[in-house]
Structure 1
Amino acid sequence: MYQSMSAVHSAVFSLKACQADLATGMDIVTSVALDLMEDQDGARNSGVSEMEALMIECAKLDREIDCFVDTVQRATAEVTAEQQEALFTMSSTVKEIFKERIAQLSDTDLQSHQKIIAFKENIKRSHNQASQESRNMEELDEDLAVTQTQVIFTCPLTQEDMINPVKNKKCNHHYEEKPIKLLIATRHNQNKKCRCPVVGCGNKDVKESDLIPDHVLKRQILDHKRQSSST
């Protein structure tokens, strides 16, 4: 009798250990889903949906283990030392009760599982964070576009709007034609290389042959001046 009950308790202990591993696995699945959210810029994708489906299956298994362990514990609690014959029928009794209890459970109850709730909250938080970051990036891009327009229209040497802009083929920066050619000639006479006057540019050898007229930018500057004058 003692050995039989010990085997039952050992089996229940093993199931509880499986539940602990299952909980760890669900945490890993949540982590993978969050990584997928980051890779897809927070977008809802098939990978995240698959992770959610896997979480549901894990929650279902966890719930069934809970139900089975509870059923076994109740059954063994009713068996006394004087009821040794009950052990021979306990297995079938547990199976019958377990089957009835599982049939009464609804899949909608899985949504209240602690790990499922945490999973959805994490996904929602990640999505909201990604959306906010996207909005911030859009605002930053707009500000940057305005700043870049101002910089492009302004010569880095004279700090005035360009009239005849030229583009450096090497670093793609723009300058007013006469000032940059004068600077190149001055450095040449000093036996020195002309560095690009744009702050932070790594082009240390600007040559006159690198410069090409930028007629498109010139038209943009003229249009910008007309709009400014009209306003």
Structure 2
Amino acid sequence: MARGRNSHPGGRGGALLACERAIDKSEEQKQSVKKLQARGVMIADVIKPNSDIAEVLRASDDRADEFLSAAYARLKALAEGNAKRIYDIEDFVDAVKVVRAEVHETLAAAGQNNEAGATTMTEAPDYEHSIHNAVERVHQERANGPSRLPHEDHAMSIEMREALGEKVPKKRSRASRGGGADDDEDDLEIVQNRVDDVHTLKCPITGMFFENPVKNKMCNHVYDRAGLDQLIRMRKYTCPVPGCANRSLSLAQVEEDEQMKLKVKRFKAREEAEKKRQRELEEDDDEVLE
């Protein structure tokens, strides 16, 4: 009897390897979305309504407000799209994990049959179809679940709106349960701090501004790559942030933090702009005195 595609253990092993590669690839895909988000936030911060650029545009073009409004809408749509991409990646990964478990079971059953001397050959499952069905199932479960926020309420969307200077209402955590006397607390508004805390922009290891920041996926702390490399060389595997319980620090835990890199760049640009304004003020004062 002719064997179907992937009907032998080697074929199923290939399917298992494909699942592992797809899961590994998901981190790279997420990182691409995060980079796109970080660049969008950077643009939003530059052209937000009270920015110097927005003021210059308004002073030089009567249609500036129309242009800026369209730009703001596109940036918010970008953030919502990024939220959707993250959800899609997560759904796909979870679906692949389901199929991976099925492959493991199939391989285990095949091994037991071989040990028992069974010779029956069966057509291999259509794993591509299985993944497609699993994705649909996971997506439906998540989309209708209480834990998944709408795209416009995702952290990426909130981040973009804050970068544009909008006041973002705190999410009502008790609204779905009928509210109560404490609902007034949920009406508090979160306003973006326009100046990044300088301490959060420095590596906890080197004490210097981040140059090549990496974020720990286990504890969410950020280090400069040079500082982390230094710790690893010294065989110190405890996260250097005080109070962190992560005692298995490794290079495999971190990913490039594009957003932090842009925050440092933005802070330094603001700092330089402030110095320039101070110099101009001092020059104006000198002219008045003369």
User: Highest CA radius of gyration, 1 or 2?
Assistant: 1
> By percentage of residues, which structure has more helix?
1
Q: TM-score if structure 1 supplies the norm length?
A: 0.48
Which has the higher relative contact order, 1 or 2, with Cα contacts under 8 A spaced 6 or more apart? 2
Q: TM-score w.r.t. structure 2 length?
A: 0.39
